[in-house]
A and B are shown apart, each in its own frame.
Chain A
Amino acid sequence: KNQVEQSPQSLIILEGKNCTLQCNYTVSPFSNLRWYKQDTGRGPVSLTIMTFSENTKSNGRYTATLDADTKQSSLHITASQLSDSASYICVVSADYGNNRLAFGKGNQVVVIP
């Protein structure tokens, strides 16, 4: 069964600090990996998407990395802001074009002043 595991489950950080979220997957064959941000009470919004050949991608203060050999990804948040408080969901596509998506349970991040 394809699985996506995220850690830590939850994280509290001080405003202005950096943090890194981890995603390990066993999905095969691998097509792409996406990170979504989900604010409380809202739908998920795409932050980054990476294919097999990409090992890093940035979106503002968010930087995602991918190691397809070890099947690991990370999302780094730089200089966190209160608005970064959200759940960050790692989603791995197993089969291009056929909607075989495996969702992680999310990393819950709380940024405090």
Chain B
Amino acid sequence: DADVTQTPRNRITKTGKRIMLECSQTKGHDRMYWYRQDPGLGLRLIYYSFDVKDINKGEISDGYSVSRQAQAKFSLSLESAIPNQTALYFCATSDLQGPTETQYFGPGTRLLVL
């Protein structure tokens, strides 16, 4: 079984709709992250959480919100989706253990906003 899972894997929605992307992990990590990836661009951080109820804005948080109600789950919401939010979304986890902290990524959610 995968350590970091994302649902749904693919989603098509219309402009203005509210959608939620879910991320679950079985690694027992405290830290969780949401990124988006666009063609020709590097991964960009949307939000991150270092513990339950801890929420921090990343580089591109506008138009997104997150919820961390449990250690194992971190959800990303688009309150009113717009076409330029069409992208590949990745959830990641990490457990800080010295200077070689590694992030473990989920399989991604491909989102299309029409």
Partner of B108, one of A4, A31, A34, A42: A42
Q: C-beta contact mask, A45-69 vs B, less than 8 Å → 1, else 0?
A: 1100101000000000000000000
A99 near B102 (CB under 8 angstroms)? Answer: no
Q: Write out the residue numbers on chain B whose beta carbons fall within 8 Å of the beta carbon of A32.
A: 99-100
How many angstroms between the C-alpha atoms of A97 and B31 in the bound complex? 11
How many angstroms between the C-alpha atoms of A99 and B32 in the bound complex? 10
How many angstroms between the C-alpha atoms of A32 and B107 in the bound complex? 24
Q: Write out the residue numbers on chain A whose beta carbons fall within 8 Å of the beta carbon of B44.
A: 103
Report the nearest A residue to B50, measured CB to CB: A99
How many pairs of A and B residues are in contact by the CB < 8 Å rule? 48
Interface size class of B (residues with CB under 8 A): 20 to 34
* Chain B, range 1-51, C-beta contacts under 8 Å to A: 4, 31, 33, 40-45, 48
How many angstroms between the C-alpha atoms of A54 and B42 in the bound complex? 25
Report the nearest A residue to B9, measured CB to CB: A41
A43 near B42 (CB under 8 angstroms)? Answer: no
B108 near A104 (CB under 8 angstroms)? Answer: no
B42 near A41 (CB under 8 angstroms)? Answer: no
Max chain B CB contacts within 10 Å: which of A41, A43, A96, A104?
A: A43
Interface residues of B (CB under 8 A from A): 4, 31, 33, 40-45, 48, 56, 90, 92, 96, 99-108
Interface residues of A (CB under 8 A from B): 4, 31-32, 34, 41-46, 49, 51, 89, 93, 96-97, 99, 101, 103-106
23 contacts between A and B (CB under 8 A): A4-B42, A41-B108, A43-B90, A43-B106, A43-B107, A43-B108, A44-B43, A44-B105, A45-B105, A49-B100, A51-B99, A51-B100, A89-B42, A96-B99, A97-B96, A97-B101, A99-B56, A101-B45, A103-B42, A103-B43, A104-B42, A105-B41, A105-B42
